[in-house]
Amino acid sequence: MMVYTQSDKPSGRGKKLTASPVKQLAQDHKLQILQPLTPADIDPRNELSAVDVFIVVAYGLILPDAILRRPIHGCINVHMSLLPRWRGAAPIQRAIQAGDQETGISIMQIDEGLDTGPVLARMKCDIAADETGASLHDKLAALGSECLLKTLDQLTTGVLVPKPQEQHLATYARKITKDEARLDWSKPAVELERLIRAFNPAPVAYTILNGVQLRVWQASVIESASAAAPGTIIACSRKGIDINTGKDILRLLRVQPQGKRIMDTSEFLNGRPDFVKNTVGTVQYP
């Protein structure tokens, strides 16, 4: 068995080269490890032709067609969505952000397109109302390993029939940018709350209120109308910081000031009386 993973990367304050979790696990099991820098370096000696199947999970390099055709049973990918929905780099976050109530795992035969290959197996799971990017990732990681093991058991027996994707149903999960993480108060509160959950734990939604930059880790929607402009703080209380949006009110529940730890908004307000004094709306704190 061979394990391919990305090269060691600088990590921590000292920027020490650190192996990926995949490499560390492979080392624990004394497996052969390869870390090619480019697709051309993946299999220069054509060793993959003797391999039963090549399994790809969030590898980060696009495999050329010559590589895809070498393993006996081809290359398969464990993709964290129900293809063809959410092809691309950020299927977990985009599913939460879009308000999807269901997602899952697709085991797909890799072709030259972007997540366009035929699907060998699927397993579904619900997206909870309070689901975050972190919690859904962990849920799908467990489901993915279960689905993969079942697929591998069936792959060599020939009982699996690859099912072509319905191309007209495809949606694209584009890569997340840091610019997207800034909360746009002109949008409805329900959209902002979903974005906050989707971008937890990275890149984390943020905003600037009363001159203070805050990363927002948790919020809730208050279905209530206000005549205030979007982005106006209309109340500060022990329940949270209420901000008017394009529709309804968003209540910030857990925030993180720059250079500080994550905290409940009540704790933040207790330590920042200046923030409360500068609030234009109703102040109900303490």
pLDDT in tens, 218-272: 999 999 988 989 999 999 988 999 999 999 999 999 999 999 999 999 999 999 8
So what's the pLDDT on residue 211?
A: 87
DSSP reduced 3-state for 207:
strand
Where do we find the tokens 């979007």?
Answer: 230
Rounded average pLDDT over 108-126: 95
CB 109 within 8 A of CB 75: yes
Rounded average pLDDT over 81-98: 97
Rounded average pLDDT over 174-197: 96
Rounded average pLDDT over 38-61: 90
So what's the pLDDT on residue 283?
A: 42
Q: Higher-confidence residue: 197 or 277?
A: 197
Using pLDDT thresholds of 50, 70 and 90, give the confidence band for residue 286: very low
Whole-angstrom distance, CA of residue 127 vs CA of residue 78: 19
Computed over every residue of the chain, the mean pLDDT equals 92
Rounded average pLDDT over 82-97: 97
Rounded average pLDDT over 49-71: 90
- Residue 215 forms beta bridges with which residues? 206, 256
Q: How many CB atoms lie within 10 A of CB 222?
A: 19
Whole-angstrom distance, CA of residue 229 vs CA of residue 13: 42
So what's the pLDDT on residue 61?
A: 80
What the chain holds in terms of domains, given with CATH numbers, is: 36-173 (3.40.50.170), 178-283 (3.10.25.10)
So what's the pLDDT on residue 281?
A: 54
So what's the pLDDT on residue 284?
A: 46
Q: How is residue 284 written in tokens?
A: 């109900």
Q: Write the DSSP string, 69-131.
A: TSSTT-EEEEESS-TTTTEES-HHHHHHHTT-SEEEEEEEE--SSSS-SPEEEEEEEE--TT-
Look at residue 59 and tell me whether its pLDDT is greater than 90.
Answer: no
So what's the pLDDT on residue 278?
A: 63
Own/partner pairs, 50-56, CB within 8 angstroms, 24+ separation: 51/2, 52/156, 53/152, 53/155, 55/148, 56/110
For the chain, percent of residues with pLDDT exceeding 90: 77
So what's the pLDDT on residue 39?
A: 84
So what's the pLDDT on residue 280?
A: 55
CB 240 within 8 A of CB 222: no
Pairing of strands 75-79, 54-56: parallel
Using pLDDT thresholds of 50, 70 and 90, give the confidence band for residue 206: very high
pLDDT tens by residue, 147-182: 999 999 898 787 889 999 999 999 999 999 999 999
So what's the pLDDT on residue 60?
A: 77
Torsions phi, psi for 230 (to 5 deg) = -55, 135
DSSP 261: -
Whole-angstrom distance, CA of residue 107 vs CA of residue 119: 6
Q: How many CB atoms lie within 10 A of CB 232?
A: 18
Look at residue 114 and tell me whether its pLDDT is greater than 50.
Answer: yes
Using pLDDT thresholds of 50, 70 and 90, give the confidence band for residue 275: confident
pTM: 0.92
CB 86 within 8 A of CB 170: no
